[in-house]
């Protein structure tokens, strides 16, 4: 069985649809396109698939309703546009599915919902219950309350985090491009579509540009990052043009549509997937070369002796990034000591922690069970 044919057996999907597609380039919700996607999703649901939609378009729909031609730059204007547009967006999804006999549920998330462990588990339970009831959750970032520090940054990332959250089999990112190309197809007519590769393929870093439609916040680079994040729970990702006829049913039947990005290793443990989803960290630990090798090659805990510098202010139990001598992040995890104590024990063997601090809570600065490579 080929990897494409394996898609026929996928059961739980997260489908993300971008602003440019949903709003016809910002002219308001395109109900004909939405109806076509819903028709396909109803067919997939009838075949036993569980579906979760991550829907962009609230800001663009709000802009259309109040006559704004350019995406606002200030946070309060974005939040106002999102609040206005969210009404029409949810009503449109609800009416399309209701006409076809399926219920929907609105779920608005902030980054804090997925970084706080208790709220993360609650969100997971709610979404699993909804799909178990054959209800289609329609998820968006809660733009009206999210502060700049807590924003996901783009719905591609949000979709990947949702895929991790519910352990989806497949993440589908519908866009205005046919998939990932080996060059920018808008500038190079000889660019070729990459039909299939693994998420770790270094070629992807070379070909992903930072561009986007101007309506959303994503570009191809965010989609590749999302695919890599989704792969942590074992999900494959398809990046494809949402304007194609029957794109979702074609994917489900194993046809060569868009670009298929496959996981290149087994899924992480659930706790480590949660850690990987932290988009903000409270501090940074700079490691020596030996500590970097130990983390990457031996999968061991991080000891204080391997730390050369501590940046930021953080408390015990918060998420910090581990970087190499060039500043490249290699891991992140839950730290066992606050920033002040970490500075006092950095570079020291574990046997001296009690002597330096007066007590020793843990031998490790970050235990391997609470650390994930990035």
Model confidence over 277-324: pLDDT tens digits?
776 788 999 999 999 999 999 989 999 999 999 999 998 888 899 999
pTM of the model: 0.80
pLDDT at 144: 63
Cα separation, 265 vs 237, whole angstroms: 14
Cα separation, 92 vs 90, whole angstroms: 5
Cα separation, 124 vs 117, whole angstroms: 11
pLDDT at 183: 83
Architecture of domain 3-272: 3-Layer(aba) Sandwich (3.40)
Boundaries of every domain in the chain: 3-272, 281-373
Model pLDDT for residues 59-80, shown as the tens digit of each residue: 888 888 888 888 887 888 888 8
Architecture of domain 281-373: Roll (2.30)
Concatenating the DSSP letter of every residue in 45-96 gives: HHTT-EEEEEE--HHHHHHHHHT--S---SHHHHHHHHHHHHHHHHHHHHHH
């Amino acid at each position: 069985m080929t990897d494409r044919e394996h898609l026929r057996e996928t059961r739980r999907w997260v489908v993300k649809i971008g602003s440019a597609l949903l709003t016809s380039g910002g002219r308001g919700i395109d109900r004909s396109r939405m109806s076509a996607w819903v028709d396909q999703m109803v067919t997939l649901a009838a075949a036993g698939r569980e579906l979760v939609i991550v829907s962009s378009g609230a800001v663009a729909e709000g802009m259309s309703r109040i006559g704004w031609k350019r995406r606002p730059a200030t946070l309060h204007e974005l939040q106002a546009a999102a609040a206005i547009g969210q009404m029409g967006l949810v009503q449109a999804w609800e009416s399309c599915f209701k006409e076809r006999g399926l219920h929907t549920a609105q779920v608005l998330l902030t980054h804090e919902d997925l970084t706080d462990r208790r709220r993360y588990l609650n969100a997971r339970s709610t979404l699993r219950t909804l799909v178990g009831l054959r209800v289609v959750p329609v998820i968006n970032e809660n733009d009206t309350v999210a502060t700049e520090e807590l924003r996901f940054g783009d719905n591609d990332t949000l979709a990947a985090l949702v895929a991790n959250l519910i352990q989806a089999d497949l993440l589908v990112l519908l866009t205005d491009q046919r998939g990932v190309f080996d060059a920018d197809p808008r500038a190079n007519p000889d660019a070729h579509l990459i039909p299939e590769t693994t998420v770790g393929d270094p070629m992807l870093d070379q070909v992903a540009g930072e561009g986007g439609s101007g309506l959303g916040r994503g570009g191809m680079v965010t989609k590749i990052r999302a695919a890599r994040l989704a792969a942590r729970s074992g999900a494959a990702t398809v990046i494809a043009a949402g304007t194609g006829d029957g794109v979702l049913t074609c994917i489900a039947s194993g046809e060569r549509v868009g670009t298929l990005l496959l996981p290149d290793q087994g899924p992480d443990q659930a706790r480590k997937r949660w850690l990987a989803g932290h988009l903000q960290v409270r501090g940074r630990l700079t490691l020596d070369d030996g500590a970097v090798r130990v983390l990457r090659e031996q999968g061991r805990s991080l000891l204080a002796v391997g730390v050369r510098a501590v940046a930021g202010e953080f408390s015990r139990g918060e998420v910090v990034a581990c970087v190499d001598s060039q500043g490249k992040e290699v891991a992140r995890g839950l730290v066992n000591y606050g920033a002040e104590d970490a500075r006092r024990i950095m570079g020291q063997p574990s046997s001296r922690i009690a002597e330096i601090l007066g007590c020793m809570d843990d031998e490790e600065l970050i235990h391997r069970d609470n650390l994930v490579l990035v």
